[in-house]
Amino acid sequence: METTDKIRAVDVYTEMTPNPESLKFVADINLFPNNSADFPDEASAKDSALATELFGFPFVKGVFIMNNFVTVTKTPEADWTEISIPLREFVKNYLEEGKEILTADFKPHVSSTQDESTVISKIKEMLDNYVKPAVEMDGGAIQFKSYHDGKVELMLQGSCSGCPSSVITLKAGIEGLLKRMVPEVQEVVAESE
Q: What is the per-residue pLDDT across 107-159, written as a single tens digit (0 to 9) for each?
A: 876 544 444 588 898 899 889 988 988 888 889 889 999 998 889 999 988 88
pLDDT digits (tens, 9 = 90+) for 37-67: 999 999 999 999 999 999 999 999 999 999 8
Domain residues of the chain, as ranges? 12-96, 118-190
Sheet holding 12-16, edge to edge: 12-16, 22-27, 69-74, 60-67, 32-39
pTM of structure: 0.71
What number does CATH give the domain 12-96?
3.30.1370.70
Class of 118-190 per CATH? alpha beta
HSE, side-chain direction, 13 A CA sphere, residue 183? 0
